[in-house]
Amino acid sequence: MKQYETVIGLEVHVELATKTKIFCACSTAFGGEVNTHTCPVCTGMPGSLPVLNKQVVEYAMAVGLATNCKITQNCRFDRKNYFYPDNPQNYQISQLYLPICRDGKVEIETESGKKYVRIHEIHMEEDAGKLIHDDWDDCSLVDYNRSGVPLIEIVSEPDMRSADEVIAYLEKLRTTIQYLGASDCKLNEGSMRADVNLSVREVGAEEFGTRTEMKNLNSFKAIARAIENERERQIDLIESGESVVQETRRWDDTKEYSYAMRSKEDAQDYRYFPEPDLVPVIISDEWLQEVKERQPEFKEEKKARYISELGIPEYDANIITGSKRLADLFEATTKLCNQPKKVSNWLMVENMRLLKENEMEPEDITFSPANLAKLIELVEGGTINSSVAKDVFEQIFKEDIDPEKYVEEKGLKMDNDEEGLRVTIEGIVAANTQSVEDYKNGKQKAIGFLVGQTMRATQGKANPGIINKILKEILDK
Protein backbone atom coordinates (compact mmCIF):
# COMPACT_ATOMS: atom_id res chain seq x y z
CA MET A 1 0.00 0.00 0.00
CA LYS A 2 1.08 3.55 -0.69
CA GLN A 3 2.13 5.83 2.10
CA TYR A 4 -0.24 8.69 2.80
CA GLU A 5 0.19 11.97 4.55
CA THR A 6 -2.72 13.72 6.30
CA VAL A 7 -3.01 17.45 5.74
CA ILE A 8 -5.12 19.34 8.25
CA GLY A 9 -6.18 22.95 8.63
CA LEU A 10 -8.46 24.20 11.38
CA GLU A 11 -11.20 26.78 11.68
CA VAL A 12 -11.60 27.47 15.36
CA HIS A 13 -14.51 29.53 16.70
CA VAL A 14 -14.03 31.02 20.13
CA GLU A 15 -16.79 32.72 22.09
CA LEU A 16 -15.33 35.80 23.72
CA ALA A 17 -15.81 36.41 27.42
CA THR A 18 -17.40 39.83 27.09
CA LYS A 19 -20.25 40.61 29.47
CA THR A 20 -22.42 41.92 26.65
CA LYS A 21 -23.03 40.89 23.07
CA ILE A 22 -21.00 42.12 20.11
CA PHE A 23 -23.58 44.55 18.74
CA CYS A 24 -25.98 45.26 21.60
CA ALA A 25 -26.03 45.51 25.39
CA CYS A 26 -27.68 42.14 26.03
CA SER A 27 -26.01 39.70 28.42
CA THR A 28 -23.89 36.88 27.04
CA ALA A 29 -24.48 34.66 30.09
CA PHE A 30 -24.86 30.99 29.24
CA GLY A 31 -28.04 29.14 30.15
CA GLY A 32 -30.60 31.94 30.66
CA GLU A 33 -34.34 31.40 30.19
CA VAL A 34 -35.18 31.14 26.49
CA ASN A 35 -35.24 34.52 24.70
CA THR A 36 -34.55 36.58 27.82
CA HIS A 37 -31.14 37.92 26.77
CA THR A 38 -32.57 39.61 23.70
CA CYS A 39 -33.44 43.02 22.32
CA PRO A 40 -34.48 44.49 18.94
CA VAL A 41 -30.87 44.32 17.71
CA CYS A 42 -30.09 40.65 18.39
CA THR A 43 -33.52 39.48 17.26
CA GLY A 44 -33.21 41.31 13.93
CA MET A 45 -36.13 43.68 14.46
CA PRO A 46 -36.71 46.08 11.57
CA GLY A 47 -34.93 49.39 12.04
CA SER A 48 -32.52 48.15 14.69
CA LEU A 49 -28.82 48.89 14.21
CA PRO A 50 -25.64 47.24 15.47
CA VAL A 51 -23.13 49.09 17.67
CA LEU A 52 -19.73 47.43 18.01
CA ASN A 53 -18.59 46.32 21.47
CA LYS A 54 -15.07 47.73 21.85
CA GLN A 55 -14.02 44.91 24.15
CA VAL A 56 -14.50 42.45 21.28
CA VAL A 57 -11.92 44.35 19.23
CA GLU A 58 -9.52 44.38 22.18
CA TYR A 59 -9.82 40.66 22.75
CA ALA A 60 -9.42 39.94 19.03
CA MET A 61 -6.33 42.18 18.95
CA ALA A 62 -4.90 40.52 22.04
CA VAL A 63 -5.37 37.03 20.58
CA GLY A 64 -3.86 38.23 17.31
CA LEU A 65 -0.83 39.67 19.06
CA ALA A 66 -0.38 36.52 21.13
CA THR A 67 -0.41 34.44 17.95
CA ASN A 68 2.08 36.70 16.16
CA CYS A 69 -0.47 38.11 13.71
CA LYS A 70 -0.35 41.42 11.89
CA ILE A 71 -3.13 43.65 13.15
CA THR A 72 -5.26 45.32 10.46
CA GLN A 73 -5.46 48.83 11.86
CA ASN A 74 -8.18 49.81 9.43
CA CYS A 75 -10.50 46.84 9.42
CA ARG A 76 -14.21 46.58 8.85
CA PHE A 77 -17.19 44.26 8.98
CA ASP A 78 -18.97 42.57 6.11
CA ARG A 79 -22.35 40.95 5.79
CA LYS A 80 -22.58 37.26 5.01
CA ASN A 81 -26.02 36.65 3.54
CA TYR A 82 -27.84 33.35 4.04
CA PHE A 83 -31.30 32.33 5.14
CA TYR A 84 -31.73 30.28 8.29
CA PRO A 85 -34.10 30.83 11.22
CA ASP A 86 -31.34 30.93 13.84
CA ASN A 87 -29.93 33.94 12.01
CA PRO A 88 -32.55 36.62 12.71
CA GLN A 89 -31.47 39.12 10.05
CA ASN A 90 -30.73 36.40 7.54
CA TYR A 91 -27.24 37.82 7.35
CA GLN A 92 -24.37 37.39 9.75
CA ILE A 93 -22.12 40.33 10.49
CA SER A 94 -18.63 38.95 10.00
CA GLN A 95 -15.36 39.97 8.36
CA LEU A 96 -14.24 38.85 4.92
CA TYR A 97 -12.33 41.55 3.11
CA LEU A 98 -10.37 43.10 5.97
CA PRO A 99 -10.16 40.72 8.96
CA ILE A 100 -8.64 42.18 12.12
CA CYS A 101 -5.63 39.82 12.25
CA ARG A 102 -3.60 38.14 9.52
CA ASP A 103 -0.45 36.13 8.95
CA GLY A 104 0.29 34.74 12.38
CA LYS A 105 1.93 31.58 13.67
CA VAL A 106 2.11 29.56 16.85
CA GLU A 107 4.70 27.04 17.95
CA ILE A 108 3.47 23.61 18.96
CA GLU A 109 5.28 20.67 20.48
CA THR A 110 4.45 17.01 20.03
CA GLU A 111 6.42 13.79 20.42
CA SER A 112 7.73 14.34 16.92
CA GLY A 113 9.19 17.69 17.94
CA LYS A 114 8.49 21.39 17.66
CA LYS A 115 6.96 23.12 14.68
CA TYR A 116 5.02 26.20 13.66
CA VAL A 117 1.40 26.27 12.59
CA ARG A 118 0.68 29.37 10.55
CA ILE A 119 -2.50 31.35 11.09
CA HIS A 120 -4.12 32.67 7.96
CA GLU A 121 -6.45 35.11 9.70
CA ILE A 122 -8.56 35.85 12.74
CA HIS A 123 -11.85 37.61 12.22
CA MET A 124 -14.65 38.85 14.46
CA GLU A 125 -18.28 37.85 13.98
CA GLU A 126 -21.58 37.28 15.73
CA ASP A 127 -22.93 33.94 16.84
CA ALA A 128 -26.37 32.69 15.76
CA GLY A 129 -29.33 31.66 17.92
CA LYS A 130 -30.29 28.08 18.65
CA LEU A 131 -33.06 26.03 17.09
CA ILE A 132 -35.02 23.87 19.48
CA HIS A 133 -37.18 21.18 18.00
CA ASP A 134 -40.48 20.62 19.75
CA ASP A 135 -41.42 17.01 19.06
CA TRP A 136 -44.72 17.34 20.84
CA ASP A 137 -46.01 20.03 18.48
CA ASP A 138 -43.74 18.95 15.64
CA CYS A 139 -42.37 22.41 15.14
CA SER A 140 -39.09 24.25 15.62
CA LEU A 141 -38.60 27.17 17.94
CA VAL A 142 -35.75 29.63 18.09
CA ASP A 143 -33.88 30.84 21.16
CA TYR A 144 -32.01 34.05 20.36
CA ASN A 145 -30.09 34.25 23.65
CA ARG A 146 -26.89 33.24 21.85
CA SER A 147 -27.62 35.42 18.84
CA GLY A 148 -25.02 38.19 18.81
CA VAL A 149 -22.60 36.58 21.25
CA PRO A 150 -19.16 37.64 20.02
CA LEU A 151 -16.94 35.12 18.30
CA ILE A 152 -13.54 35.14 16.78
CA GLU A 153 -12.74 32.63 14.09
CA ILE A 154 -9.11 31.58 13.93
CA VAL A 155 -8.28 30.11 10.55
CA SER A 156 -5.03 28.16 10.31
CA GLU A 157 -3.05 27.25 7.23
CA PRO A 158 -3.11 23.52 6.32
CA ASP A 159 0.04 22.96 8.36
CA MET A 160 -0.90 20.07 10.63
CA ARG A 161 -0.14 16.45 9.76
CA SER A 162 -1.62 14.40 12.60
CA ALA A 163 -4.25 14.37 15.30
CA ASP A 164 -1.46 14.94 17.84
CA GLU A 165 -0.48 18.15 16.12
CA VAL A 166 -4.09 19.26 15.96
CA ILE A 167 -4.56 18.66 19.67
CA ALA A 168 -1.28 20.41 20.47
CA TYR A 169 -2.36 23.38 18.35
CA LEU A 170 -5.78 23.54 20.00
CA GLU A 171 -4.26 23.26 23.46
CA LYS A 172 -1.86 26.03 22.60
CA LEU A 173 -4.68 28.26 21.42
CA ARG A 174 -6.78 27.40 24.43
CA THR A 175 -4.06 28.14 26.96
CA THR A 176 -3.13 31.37 25.20
CA ILE A 177 -6.73 32.58 25.03
CA GLN A 178 -7.39 31.57 28.62
CA TYR A 179 -4.29 33.46 29.75
CA LEU A 180 -5.69 36.51 27.98
CA GLY A 181 -9.00 36.02 29.75
CA ALA A 182 -10.59 36.33 26.32
CA SER A 183 -12.59 33.12 26.65
CA ASP A 184 -12.96 30.07 28.87
CA CYS A 185 -12.59 27.91 25.73
CA LYS A 186 -14.83 25.06 26.84
CA LEU A 187 -15.33 22.63 24.00
CA ASN A 188 -18.19 20.83 25.72
CA GLU A 189 -20.15 24.06 26.23
CA GLY A 190 -19.36 25.29 22.76
CA SER A 191 -17.30 28.30 23.76
CA MET A 192 -14.54 26.78 21.63
CA ARG A 193 -15.52 24.94 18.45
CA ALA A 194 -13.20 23.45 15.89
CA ASP A 195 -13.98 22.53 12.31
CA VAL A 196 -11.38 20.24 10.80
CA ASN A 197 -10.43 20.56 7.15
CA LEU A 198 -8.67 17.39 6.15
CA SER A 199 -7.23 15.90 3.00
CA VAL A 200 -4.74 13.12 2.31
CA ARG A 201 -2.01 12.87 -0.28
CA GLU A 202 0.73 10.47 -1.11
CA VAL A 203 3.88 11.13 0.82
CA GLY A 204 6.06 13.38 -1.28
CA ALA A 205 3.20 14.79 -3.37
CA GLU A 206 3.24 18.53 -3.98
CA GLU A 207 -0.47 19.04 -4.58
CA PHE A 208 -3.06 18.88 -1.83
CA GLY A 209 -5.79 16.28 -2.08
CA THR A 210 -9.47 17.16 -2.09
CA ARG A 211 -10.48 18.20 1.41
CA THR A 212 -13.54 17.73 3.52
CA GLU A 213 -14.69 19.84 6.41
CA MET A 214 -15.74 18.06 9.61
CA LYS A 215 -18.14 19.71 12.04
CA ASN A 216 -19.63 18.90 15.45
CA LEU A 217 -16.45 18.06 17.31
CA ASN A 218 -17.07 18.59 21.00
CA SER A 219 -13.96 17.27 22.71
CA PHE A 220 -10.28 16.67 22.02
CA LYS A 221 -11.02 12.95 22.00
CA ALA A 222 -13.77 13.40 19.43
CA ILE A 223 -11.41 15.46 17.30
CA ALA A 224 -8.73 12.77 17.45
CA ARG A 225 -11.23 10.02 16.59
CA ALA A 226 -12.79 12.04 13.77
CA ILE A 227 -9.38 12.75 12.23
CA GLU A 228 -8.40 9.07 12.34
CA ASN A 229 -11.73 8.05 10.89
CA GLU A 230 -11.74 10.64 8.12
CA ARG A 231 -8.16 9.85 7.17
CA GLU A 232 -9.06 6.16 6.84
CA ARG A 233 -12.23 6.98 4.89
CA GLN A 234 -10.37 9.13 2.38
CA ILE A 235 -7.54 6.63 1.93
CA ASP A 236 -10.08 3.82 1.41
CA LEU A 237 -11.82 5.88 -1.25
CA ILE A 238 -8.58 6.60 -3.07
CA GLU A 239 -7.33 3.03 -2.78
CA SER A 240 -10.57 1.70 -4.22
CA GLY A 241 -10.24 4.05 -7.16
CA GLU A 242 -12.93 6.47 -6.08
CA SER A 243 -12.40 10.11 -5.36
CA VAL A 244 -12.93 12.26 -2.33
CA VAL A 245 -15.82 14.71 -2.69
CA GLN A 246 -15.34 18.23 -1.37
CA GLU A 247 -18.08 18.47 1.21
CA THR A 248 -19.00 19.33 4.76
CA ARG A 249 -19.45 16.32 7.03
CA ARG A 250 -20.91 15.97 10.49
CA TRP A 251 -19.22 13.81 13.11
CA ASP A 252 -21.32 11.57 15.32
CA ASP A 253 -19.04 10.75 18.22
CA THR A 254 -21.26 8.10 19.78
CA LYS A 255 -21.35 6.15 16.50
CA GLU A 256 -17.78 7.12 15.62
CA TYR A 257 -18.96 7.89 12.14
CA SER A 258 -19.42 10.97 9.96
CA TYR A 259 -21.97 11.71 7.28
CA ALA A 260 -22.13 14.27 4.48
CA MET A 261 -24.09 17.46 5.24
CA ARG A 262 -23.65 19.37 2.01
CA SER A 263 -21.35 19.18 -0.97
CA LYS A 264 -19.52 21.95 -2.75
CA GLU A 265 -22.18 21.97 -5.46
CA ASP A 266 -24.71 23.08 -2.85
CA ALA A 267 -22.30 25.71 -1.57
CA GLN A 268 -24.11 28.96 -1.10
CA ASP A 269 -23.09 32.27 -2.54
CA TYR A 270 -22.94 34.39 0.60
CA ARG A 271 -22.94 37.66 -1.36
CA TYR A 272 -20.57 39.31 1.10
CA PHE A 273 -20.46 43.09 1.07
CA PRO A 274 -19.25 45.74 3.52
CA GLU A 275 -21.65 46.20 6.44
CA PRO A 276 -23.13 49.67 5.83
CA ASP A 277 -24.47 50.01 9.37
CA LEU A 278 -21.00 49.99 10.92
CA VAL A 279 -18.16 52.38 10.33
CA PRO A 280 -14.64 51.01 9.73
CA VAL A 281 -12.74 50.07 12.90
CA ILE A 282 -9.71 52.30 13.12
CA ILE A 283 -7.10 50.96 15.51
CA SER A 284 -4.71 53.75 16.39
CA ASP A 285 -1.05 53.09 17.13
CA GLU A 286 -1.71 54.18 20.72
CA TRP A 287 -4.56 51.72 21.16
CA LEU A 288 -2.51 48.92 19.69
CA GLN A 289 0.36 49.82 22.00
CA GLU A 290 -1.92 49.83 25.04
CA VAL A 291 -3.18 46.35 24.22
CA LYS A 292 0.40 45.17 23.65
CA GLU A 293 1.49 46.50 27.02
CA ARG A 294 -1.41 44.80 28.72
CA GLN A 295 -0.50 41.35 27.33
CA PRO A 296 0.01 38.95 30.22
CA GLU A 297 2.92 36.58 30.84
CA PHE A 298 2.10 33.53 28.72
CA LYS A 299 2.62 29.86 29.46
CA GLU A 300 6.16 29.47 28.12
CA GLU A 301 7.53 32.49 29.97
CA LYS A 302 5.75 31.49 33.13
CA LYS A 303 7.00 27.94 32.95
CA ALA A 304 10.58 29.11 32.52
CA ARG A 305 10.22 31.46 35.45
CA TYR A 306 8.73 28.77 37.71
CA ILE A 307 11.65 26.50 36.95
CA SER A 308 14.46 29.01 37.26
CA GLU A 309 13.19 31.35 39.96
CA LEU A 310 10.95 29.15 42.08
CA GLY A 311 12.73 25.83 41.69
CA ILE A 312 9.65 23.94 40.47
CA PRO A 313 10.45 20.73 38.55
CA GLU A 314 9.90 21.08 34.80
CA TYR A 315 7.19 18.44 34.69
CA ASP A 316 5.17 20.19 37.40
CA ALA A 317 5.78 23.65 35.98
CA ASN A 318 4.50 22.44 32.63
CA ILE A 319 1.28 21.09 34.05
CA ILE A 320 0.59 24.02 36.33
CA THR A 321 1.15 26.58 33.58
CA GLY A 322 -0.93 24.46 31.22
CA SER A 323 -4.02 25.87 32.88
CA LYS A 324 -4.47 29.52 33.66
CA ARG A 325 -6.64 28.56 36.61
CA LEU A 326 -3.86 26.43 38.12
CA ALA A 327 -1.17 29.01 37.43
CA ASP A 328 -3.26 31.76 39.01
CA LEU A 329 -3.95 29.58 42.02
CA PHE A 330 -0.30 28.65 42.30
CA GLU A 331 0.86 32.25 42.18
CA ALA A 332 -1.76 33.59 44.55
CA THR A 333 -1.09 30.85 47.10
CA THR A 334 2.68 31.21 46.82
CA LYS A 335 2.34 34.92 47.37
CA LEU A 336 0.55 34.22 50.66
CA CYS A 337 2.76 31.46 52.09
CA ASN A 338 6.00 31.92 50.16
CA GLN A 339 6.46 28.14 49.77
CA PRO A 340 6.30 27.56 46.01
CA LYS A 341 7.40 23.95 46.14
CA LYS A 342 4.85 23.02 48.77
CA VAL A 343 2.10 24.79 46.84
CA SER A 344 3.14 23.00 43.68
CA ASN A 345 3.08 19.67 45.52
CA TRP A 346 -0.41 20.15 46.83
CA LEU A 347 -1.67 21.22 43.41
CA MET A 348 0.09 18.39 41.60
CA VAL A 349 -0.69 15.52 43.95
CA GLU A 350 -3.78 15.84 46.12
CA ASN A 351 -5.51 18.44 43.96
CA MET A 352 -4.97 16.43 40.77
CA ARG A 353 -6.16 13.24 42.45
CA LEU A 354 -9.38 14.91 43.57
CA LEU A 355 -9.93 16.53 40.16
CA LYS A 356 -9.62 13.16 38.54
CA GLU A 357 -11.84 11.42 41.06
CA ASN A 358 -14.54 14.02 40.61
CA GLU A 359 -14.09 14.27 36.82
CA MET A 360 -13.40 17.98 37.08
CA GLU A 361 -11.25 20.37 35.07
CA PRO A 362 -8.89 22.85 36.77
CA GLU A 363 -11.35 25.56 35.69
CA ASP A 364 -13.90 24.01 38.06
CA ILE A 365 -11.74 24.48 41.16
CA THR A 366 -13.53 26.53 43.77
CA PHE A 367 -11.17 26.71 46.75
CA SER A 368 -9.35 29.88 47.66
CA PRO A 369 -5.59 30.44 47.72
CA ALA A 370 -5.91 31.73 51.28
CA ASN A 371 -7.13 28.40 52.65
CA LEU A 372 -4.48 26.39 50.84
CA ALA A 373 -1.81 28.77 52.14
CA LYS A 374 -3.11 28.38 55.69
CA LEU A 375 -3.05 24.61 55.34
CA ILE A 376 0.57 24.72 54.22
CA GLU A 377 1.45 26.90 57.19
CA LEU A 378 -0.32 24.50 59.56
CA VAL A 379 1.75 21.62 58.22
CA GLU A 380 5.05 23.47 58.11
CA GLY A 381 4.51 24.93 61.55
CA GLY A 382 3.98 21.43 62.93
CA THR A 383 0.38 22.09 63.95
CA ILE A 384 -0.94 19.13 62.01
CA ASN A 385 0.74 16.12 60.54
CA SER A 386 0.69 15.21 56.89
CA SER A 387 -1.98 12.54 57.06
CA VAL A 388 -4.39 14.89 58.80
CA ALA A 389 -3.43 17.56 56.27
CA LYS A 390 -4.62 15.35 53.42
CA ASP A 391 -8.04 15.03 55.00
CA VAL A 392 -8.19 18.75 55.64
CA PHE A 393 -7.21 19.46 52.05
CA GLU A 394 -10.08 17.33 50.86
CA GLN A 395 -12.44 19.52 52.88
CA ILE A 396 -10.83 22.64 51.41
CA PHE A 397 -11.17 21.22 47.92
CA LYS A 398 -14.82 20.36 48.44
CA GLU A 399 -16.10 23.25 50.51
CA ASP A 400 -13.27 25.75 50.77
CA ILE A 401 -13.28 25.47 54.57
CA ASP A 402 -10.93 27.53 56.73
CA PRO A 403 -8.33 24.94 57.83
CA GLU A 404 -7.40 26.75 61.06
CA LYS A 405 -10.95 26.73 62.32
CA TYR A 406 -11.52 23.23 61.05
CA VAL A 407 -8.47 21.82 62.80
CA GLU A 408 -9.42 23.64 65.96
CA GLU A 409 -13.05 22.49 65.92
CA LYS A 410 -12.27 18.89 65.07
CA GLY A 411 -9.34 18.75 67.46
CA LEU A 412 -6.88 17.61 64.82
CA LYS A 413 -3.78 19.29 66.15
CA MET A 414 -0.68 17.19 66.18
CA ASP A 415 0.07 15.40 69.45
CA ASN A 416 3.57 16.46 70.53
CA ASP A 417 3.25 15.24 74.09
CA GLU A 418 6.32 12.97 74.41
CA GLU A 419 5.51 11.63 77.83
CA GLY A 420 1.95 10.74 76.90
CA LEU A 421 3.06 9.14 73.65
CA ARG A 422 5.73 7.14 75.43
CA VAL A 423 3.06 5.60 77.67
CA THR A 424 0.87 4.77 74.64
CA ILE A 425 3.78 3.27 72.71
CA GLU A 426 4.98 1.20 75.62
CA GLY A 427 1.49 -0.29 75.76
CA ILE A 428 1.50 -1.02 72.03
CA VAL A 429 4.97 -2.60 72.15
CA ALA A 430 3.86 -4.79 75.07
CA ALA A 431 0.75 -5.93 73.19
CA ASN A 432 2.59 -6.73 69.94
CA THR A 433 5.44 -8.95 70.96
CA GLN A 434 5.47 -10.70 67.57
CA SER A 435 6.25 -7.46 65.74
CA VAL A 436 8.90 -6.59 68.25
CA GLU A 437 10.39 -10.01 67.70
CA ASP A 438 10.30 -9.57 63.92
CA TYR A 439 12.00 -6.20 64.20
CA LYS A 440 14.71 -7.57 66.38
CA ASN A 441 15.22 -10.35 63.87
CA GLY A 442 16.03 -7.75 61.27
CA LYS A 443 12.61 -7.15 59.75
CA GLN A 444 12.83 -3.35 59.57
CA LYS A 445 9.32 -3.21 58.13
CA ALA A 446 7.80 -4.37 61.36
CA ILE A 447 8.34 -0.92 62.77
CA GLY A 448 5.82 0.44 60.27
CA PHE A 449 3.11 -1.72 61.78
CA LEU A 450 3.87 -0.34 65.22
CA VAL A 451 3.81 3.25 63.95
CA GLY A 452 0.44 2.54 62.35
CA GLN A 453 -0.90 1.16 65.61
CA THR A 454 0.27 4.24 67.44
CA MET A 455 -1.37 6.51 64.88
CA ARG A 456 -4.59 4.62 65.22
CA ALA A 457 -4.46 4.89 68.98
CA THR A 458 -4.01 8.68 68.70
CA GLN A 459 -6.64 9.16 65.96
CA GLY A 460 -3.86 10.05 63.54
CA LYS A 461 -2.81 13.12 65.44
CA ALA A 462 0.51 11.96 66.79
CA ASN A 463 3.66 13.58 65.53
CA PRO A 464 5.21 10.84 63.38
CA GLY A 465 8.75 12.09 64.12
CA ILE A 466 8.24 11.67 67.83
CA ILE A 467 6.67 8.21 67.41
CA ASN A 468 9.68 7.06 65.40
CA LYS A 469 12.10 8.44 67.92
CA ILE A 470 10.37 6.83 70.91
CA LEU A 471 9.84 3.50 69.13
CA LYS A 472 13.49 3.25 68.21
CA GLU A 473 14.53 4.13 71.73
CA ILE A 474 12.34 1.35 73.13
CA LEU A 475 13.10 -1.29 70.49
CA ASP A 476 16.83 -0.67 70.24
CA LYS A 477 17.31 -0.89 74.00
Which distant-in-sequence residues (6+ apart) come within 8 Å of 125 by Cβ?
22, 80, 92, 93, 94, 95, 150, 151, 152, 153
* Gap between the Cα atoms of 130 and 32, Å rounded: 13
- Rounded alpha-carbon distances, angstroms, from residue 18 to 57, 152, 183, 240: 11, 12, 8, 50
CB of 244 to another protein, least distance (A): 24
Q: Considering only the stretches 44-52, 204-212, 229-237, 314-322, report the one whose residues sit in contact with another protein under the rule CB under 8 A.
A: 44-52
CB 435 within 8 A of CB 455: no
Q: Considering only the stretches 190-198, 222-230, 265-273, 295-303, report the one whose residues sit in contact with another protein under the rule CB under 8 A.
A: 265-273
**# residues contacting another protein (CB under 8 A):** 28
- Rounded alpha-carbon distances, angstroms, from residue 202 to 43, 199, 225, 229, 372: 49, 10, 21, 17, 55
Per-residue interface string for the shown chain with another protein, residues 274-303, x marking contact by CB under 8 A: --xxxx------------------------
Can you tell me whether residue 54 is helix, strand or coil?
helix
- Asked whether position 55 contacts another protein by CB under 8 A, the answer is no
Q: Considering only the stretches 39-47, 55-63, 65-73, 380-388, report the one whose residues sit in contact with another protein under the rule CB under 8 A.
A: 39-47
CB 175 within 8 A of CB 324: yes
Q: Considering only the stretches 76-84, 112-120, 352-360, 416-424, report the one whose residues sit in contact with another protein under the rule CB under 8 A.
A: 76-84
Instruction: Report the residue number, 88 or 362, with the smaller CB distance to another protein.
Output: 88
Q: Considering only the stretches 36-44, 174-182, 320-328, 417-425, report the one whose residues sit in contact with another protein under the rule CB under 8 A.
A: 36-44
Instruction: Report the residue number, 56 or 238, with the smaller CB distance to another protein.
Output: 56
CA neighbours within 13 Å on the CB side: how many for 392? 31
- Asked whether position 49 contacts another protein by CB under 8 A, the answer is yes
CB of 311 to another protein, least distance (A): 53
DSSP state of 69: P
Instruction: Report the residue number, 20 or 175, with the smaller CB distance to another protein.
Output: 20
CB of 5 to another protein, least distance (A): 32
- Dihedral angle sign, alpha carbons of residues 368, 374, 379, 384: negative
Q: Given candidates 1, 3, 47, 266, which one binds another protein under the rule CB under 8 A?
A: 47
Q: Taking Cα atoms as reference points, which of 273, 297, 286 lies closest to residue 61?
A: 286
- Asked whether position 89 contacts another protein by CB under 8 A, the answer is yes
The residues binding another protein (CB under 8 A) are: 40, 43-52, 79, 81, 83, 85, 88-91, 142, 269, 271-273, 276-279
